[in-house]
Amino acid sequence: MRVMILGAAGQIGKMVTDDLLAQTNYDLILYGRNVTTRLADRAGERVTLVDGMFEEVDKIKEKLTDVEAVFLSFVAGDQLMKSLVQVLEDAGVKRFIATNIPDIYQEMTGKFTQWYHENTGLVWDSKYRKAADIVEASKLDYIILRITWLYNQEGNTRVHITKKGEPFVEAQVTRQAVAQTVIDLLTGKFNYHRESLGLGEPDTEYSKPSFF
């Protein structure tokens, strides 16, 4: 299986890369700004590095030959998402996993809601909601990951997954948990298809993230 990671030099992108190399035999195309320099230590027989910006969709399209899955480790707005979805559909990519933010469906409830709104605004009428609508209207075997406030904790991959239409209450989740969720989706351990999933850490129904 060949997987392209868009935004591969970010924290989650690097974690997903390392986890895929360790846990699977997949070949990877790592795409992003200056990745040939920033990710030079990941180069190898199973890894291809491609320098590029998200907006260079023609360059992305050139590298999609035999790619079965794409992970977008970047929260894109609707204009970029429209172009990207079209390219993926034209290239025959089967699986698309895209990150997004909570409350695009007004699903946020509980103690965390006030702090979240104060720090993000009302996101259900934003370019991120419109981007989600574009993905959901596509022909792709998509997963949208609505990820709450992020932090790092090595070894903590605890995750509570909610579906679209279910309440979202968690204030935080680790990048390690998000990365492992992406791996489990790509390997089929998690059997979700054409779903928008909320990712939070269990038992973090706080009024704000613990690290603030």
In tens, the pLDDT along 26-67 reads: 999 999 999 999 999 999 999 999 999 999 999 999 999 999
Q: How confident is the model at residue 195 (pLDDT cuts 50, 70, 90)?
A: very high
**Domain segments of the chain as ranges:** 2-200
pLDDT of 176 reads: 98
pLDDT of 69 reads: 98
Q: How confident is the model at residue 91 (pLDDT cuts 50, 70, 90)?
A: very high
Q: Which two tokens stand for residue 190?
A: 């998690």
Please, which residues have CB within 8 angstroms of residue 143's CB and are 6 or more apart in sequence?
A: 95, 96, 97, 98, 185, 192, 193, 194, 195, 196, 197
pLDDT of 101 reads: 98
Please, which residues have CB within 8 angstroms of residue 185's CB and are 6 or more apart in sequence?
A: 97, 143, 192
pLDDT of 173 reads: 98
Average pLDDT of span 136-157: 98
Q: How confident is the model at residue 86 (pLDDT cuts 50, 70, 90)?
A: very high
Please, which residues have CB within 8 angstroms of residue 156's CB and are 6 or more apart in sequence?
A: 174, 176, 177, 201
Report which residue type is found at 109. T
Task: Please state which of the four CATH numbers 1.10.443.10, 3.10.350.10, 3.40.50.720, 3.30.9.10 is assigned to the domain occupying 2-200.
Answer: 3.40.50.720
Decide if 72 contacts 7 (C-beta within 8 A).
yes
pTM across the whole model = 0.97
